[in-house]
Amino acid sequence: MFHLILYQPEIPPNTGNVMRLCANVGATLHLIEPLGFSLDDRRLRRAGLDYREWADVRVHACLPDCLVGLPHARVFALSTHGRVRHDAPAYRAGDCFLLGPETRGLPRDLLEALPAERRLRLPMQPGNRSLNLSNAAAVVLFEAWRQHGFSGACEPET
C-alpha cells in the first residue's frame, strides 16, 4: 500500500529492522545505493530475522531510477528540517516516505526539490537531534496505515 525509501542506508541492523517493519505493514522497501553494507550482512539478517523472504525489497542504483517506477506516487521526506508534522497530511495509497542515511540525513538539494508541504518532521523534545532511522520509519508508516484503517491487518484471535 505504501513505499518506504531508504536513501543510501549505512547501518545493517537499522535496515533489517525496517525490512521487518515493511513486511509487517505491507509496505514495499526501496534501497538506494550505495548501501553501507551487503544484503548478505549477518547483522542485517539478524535484525530482519526471517522477514527478508516476506518483505518486498527492491534495490535501485539511484533515486531517479526508483522514482521512475513510481510515476504517480507522492514523495514525503522525513527530516529534522521539515516543517510539517508527520500526522498532518492525508496520506493516499501508494505514497512514498523517503528517509536519509543515518549519519547525515537527506542531502539538502534532494530535500529542497520537494514541495515544503511534503517535508515532514517528527515531534521531539527540545535539544534532541533525531530518532533512530527504523523508529522514524515505524512512526510515519504506522500513521499512514492508521489513516487507512490498518487495511489488510489481521484481527486478533478470540
Feature table: binding site for S-adenosyl-L-methionine:
78, 100, 122, 130
Annotated binding site: 78, 100, 122, 130
In the chain the beta strands, taken as DSSP E runs, fall at: 3-7, 28-32, 56-60, 75-78, 84-85, 96-99, 119-121
User: Which CA distances in Å does 43 have to 16, 49, 102, 117?
Assistant: 8, 10, 16, 36
| 28-32 and 96-99 strand pairing | unpaired
